Amino acid sequence: SVVELVGIDQIVVTVKGLDAFDGTPVIDLKPHLSAVSPTRVPEWVNLSM
């Protein structure tokens, strides 16, 4: 999910727009880099939407 960063308080990162239940542990965080070229998506993904 691409989320909005709301705040950071010591070890707690608060975000908005995450598609998970409240309290679900987040294992990995990565920055969104708009300068990176667009990702390639397999054709079957487009057919399933």
- The total domain count for the chain is 1
Tell me the per-residue pLDDT of 1-49, one tens digit each, with 9 for 90 and over: 788 899 999 988 898 988 899 888 888 888 877 776 677 778 888 787 6
Determine the pLDDT at residue 2.
82
Helices and strands, number each (H, E), in the chain: 1, 2
Task: For residue 12, give its domain range.
Answer: 4-48
Is the pTM of the predicted complex or chain greater than 0.95? no
d(CA 13, CA 1): 15
- Residue 35 is encoded by which pair of tokens? 């300068």
